[in-house]
Amino acid sequence: MLGGNPAVPQGGDGHRFRLLGPVRMVLSGAAVRPGPPRQQAVLAVLLLRRRRPVTVDELVAAVWGDDAPARAAGNLRTYAWGLRTLLEPGRAAREPARVLLGDGRGYVLHTAPDSVDALRFEGQVEAARQARGRGDTAAEHALLADALGVWTGDALAGVPGPFAEEERVRLGALRAAARKRYFACALRLGLHHAVIPELTSLTREFPLDEELRALLMRALHGCGRQAEAFTVFADTHRILGEELGVAPCAELTALHSRLLAQDPPPVAPDHRPPAPARTPAPALALAPAPAPVSPLPPSPAQGALTEAAQRALARAERLLAEGIDRGVVPVVTITGPGGAGKMELAARIADRVARRFPDGPLFADLWAGGPVPAGPGPLLAHLLRALGIPPARIPADPDQRAALYRSALAVRRVLVVLDGALDAAQVLPLLPGTPGSAVLVTTRSRALALPGASLVELAARPYAGEPSTGEPSTGEVTGDPAADASRREDLPPELARAARLLARHGTDLSVDAVASLLGTGRESAARIAEALVDAGALDTPAAGSYRSPGRP
C-alpha cells in the first residue's frame, strides 16, 4: 500500500479545500469546480484521512455503502483521474503524480496541513479548549470566533455516501458545541449586545435547545432587557409543554428565579451548569470528571489474563480507537458463554481506553439478575438519571426518552458498557447518536446482530459443574449441530443428552418447546437450556429463545 513519499511536496502549495459548506477547491489562487457529487465524496474521504492511504475497498464503502455498483472500482479510477487532472493540470502524460498518488490497492492525497478548512476548524477548537484550561477566556473567544468563521453552510453539503453523512453529523456536533462555548465566553467578557442577534436566530432554528435559550436569557438580562429575558423563559415553557409535554429543566428554572431576584449566576467557562446531586440508579453510574470513579467491576492484574484474552483485549482496543479516529460511534460486541470472562474483558478495555472518554464510563446491567430482562424504556430512564437529567424531565414515551438520551450524550464523550444483552431490540435505543462516544456490549448470544458492530468472541470454558483444566476450549463448531453437541465431552450425561436432542431441531426453540422435547417441566427446561448456554452448547438469540451454535 502507498505510504509517505519524502519527494512529494507538502501537498500542492497554494491549494485550499473547503468542506464546511458546499465543497470548493482553490488551486494556486483560482477557484476550480470539484466535479460531480461522487467525485466530491472521494475527495472528502482523501482529505479527511490526513495524508493517510485509503484502500479501494474503504473508498467504495465510504462513497456507496451497501449500494455499490458492480463497477465501483472502475468508477473510482475515473474519479481519481478527474481529481488528478484538477490538482496537477500541468503534469505530462508519463510524469509521475506528485499530489494524488495511487496504485491498484488504493490512493493517498498529499495536502498541506492547513489546506483543509475542516481540519483547521478542529485544530482551532482544540486550541480554544487548551486556552479554556489556562483560564484565558479572551484567547478562547478569539480562537472560537476564527474557527466558526470558516463555515459557509452544512458540512459537505450535497455530497452523497455514508462517509459524508457521518462527517456531517460529527462536524455539525462540534460546531454546535463550539458555538455555545463562544457565546459563553462573550458573556463572560461583557459582550452581551454582540451575541443577541445570533442567539435569537439560533433559538428559532433550534427551539428545544434549552442551553441556547439560557444563554439568550443571560444576554438579554445583561443588557437590561429583563422583560424580554422573561419572555424567552415563558416561550420555552410553552414550547416544551406543547412539543414534549415537559417543563423546562431545573437549571433553566433556577436561572429564571435568580434573574427575577436580580442575582444572575456567573457564566461557567464551558457554559455547562453544575450537575445536580443525585443518588445513582441501580447498576448504572456515570463517572464524574476529572477524577472518574468507574462503576465497572474491578479489572484484574495484567497477568491474570490468558494469552487469548490478551489478544481479544488488544483487538477490542484497536477497534474502538479506529472508530473514534474515523469520527463514528464504534460498537464492539463481546460474546461468549457464561463464565468466559466477558465482563472482565470489558472492564479491562474500559481501563485501557479511559483517556479517550474524559466524561467517564456509563454502565448498564441489561439483565440485572431479575426474572425478566430490563426493557429499553426503564433502562433509558435509569441512564438519563445517571446523566443528571431530573426525573421530572424524563418523558414517559420510550422514543422521546431515546431522543433525550442521545441529546445528552451529544456533548459528552463516554464509554457506554452494556452488560448481558439478550437481543438487538434491547440495545439499539441505548446507542449514542453522535460521534465522540463508544459502546461495549457483552452477550452470551452469538446471534445478536448490531449494525456496524465488530465482534470479539471468547471461547467456551468447560462446564461450570466440572473441574477446569485451566485451559479454555476452542469452542470449534463443525457445522453439524448434533455432532458438535455430542462432542462436548465435558458436559454431564444429562446435559449431553439434552444437547443432542435439541441440536436435531433447526428452528429457534422457546422454553415450552424445550420442555416438550426433553419431557420435563417448564422450570426444569429453562434451567437446562441456560446451563447449555453457559457451556456453549446452545445460543440464546433473544430472551427465552434458544438455538444450536452456528445456525443462522
Residue 475, pLDDT score: 36
pTM of whole model > 0.85?
Answer: no
Domains and CATH numbers, the chain: 1-135+150-171 (1.10.10.10), 190-274 (1.25.40.10), 284-457 (3.40.50.300), 481-547 (1.10.10.10)
Q: What is the pLDDT of residues 167-218, one digit of tens each?
A: 999 999 999 999 999 999 999 998 898 899 999 999 999 999 999 999 999 9
Q: Which residue has the higher pLDDT, 278 or 83?
A: 83
CB distance 244 to 385 below 8 Å: no
Q: What angle do CA 28, 30, 36 make, to 5 degrees?
A: 105
Work out the pLDDT band at 550, boundaries 50, 70, 90. Answer: low
Residue range 59-64: mean pLDDT, rounded: 94
Grid coordinates representing 12?
Answer: 500542492
Cα–Cα dist 382/284, whole Å: 7
Alpha carbon distance 538, 518 (integer Å): 15
In the sheet that 539-542 helps form, which strands lie side by side, from edge to edge?
509-510, 545-547, 539-542
Is 24's pLDDT higher than 90? yes
Cβ proximity of 128 and 178 under 8 Å = yes
Residue 248 has a CB neighbour count (10 Å cut-off) of: 21
Shortest CA distance to 532 belongs to which of 35, 524, 231?
524
Report the DSSP pairing between strands 454-457 and 361-365.
unpaired
CA distance linking residue 66 with residue 162, whole number of Å: 9
Q: What is the predicted pLDDT for the residue at 268?
A: 52
Amino acid at 298: P
CB contact at 8 A, 212 and 181: no
Nearest to 437 by CA among 280, 296, 291, 320: 320
Contact criterion met (CB below 8 Å) for 150 and 164: no
Summarised one tens digit per residue, pLDDT across range 126-157 is 999 999 999 999 999 999 999 999 999 999 99
More confident residue, 257 or 266: 257
Confidence of residue 328 (pLDDT cuts 50, 70, 90): confident
Q: What is the pLDDT of residue 462?
A: 39
Backbone angles phi, psi at 66, to 5 degrees: -75, -5
Whether residue 542 has pLDDT greater than 90: no
pLDDT exceeds cutoff 80 at 537 = no
Q: Between residues 172 and 539, which one has the greater pLDDT?
A: 172
Q: How far apart are CA 294 and CA 362, in angstroms?
A: 8
The pLDDT of residue 243 is 85
Query: Does residue 165 surpass a pLDDT of 90?
Result: yes
H or E segment at 362? strand 361-365
Average pLDDT, the chain: 78
* Distance separating alpha carbons of residues 124 and 115, to the nearest angstrom: 14
CA atoms within 13 A on the CB side of 221: 25
Q: What is the pLDDT of residue 54?
A: 93
Question: Please, which pLDDT band fits residue 290 given cuts at 50, 70 and 90?
Answer: very low
Grid-cell match 473567544, residue found:
141
Most confidently modeled range among 178-182, 403-407, 525-529? 178-182
Q: What is the pLDDT of residue 485?
A: 42
Question: What pLDDT shows up at residue 373?
Answer: 54
- Please say if the pLDDT value at position 323 is more than 60: yes
Which amino acid, 92?
A: A
- Among 28, 30, 63, 31, residue whose Cα is nearest residue 44: 63
Per-residue pLDDT at 295: 53
Q: Given this model, what pLDDT does residue 536 score?
A: 66
Q: What is the pLDDT of residues 331-367, one digit of tens each?
A: 999 887 766 778 888 888 888 888 888 877 888 888 6
Residues 6+ apart with CB under 8 A from 134: none
Lowest mean pLDDT among 48-62, 135-149, 495-509: 495-509
pLDDT on residue 271: 39
What pLDDT does 301 receive?
46
| Contact present, 150 and 117 (Cβ < 8 Å) | yes
Residue 446: strand, helix, or coil: coil
Give the end-to-end CA distance of the chain in Å, rounded to a whole number: 36
**pLDDT for residue 413 is more than 60:** yes
332-360 in b/e form (b: 16+ CB < 10 A) is bbbbbbbbbbbbbbbbbbbebbeebbebb
More confident residue, 1 or 191: 191
Cis omega (within 30 of 0) for bond into 36: no
Whole-number Å distance between alpha carbons of 309 and 223: 61
Mapping DSSP to helix (H, G, I), strand (E, B) and coil, where does residue 467 land?
Answer: coil
- Residue 287's pLDDT is what? 31
For 453-498, what is each residue's pLDDT tens digit? 888 888 654 333 333 333 333 333 333 444 444 446 456 777 778 8
Contacts for 261 with CB less than 8 Å, ≥ 6 apart: none
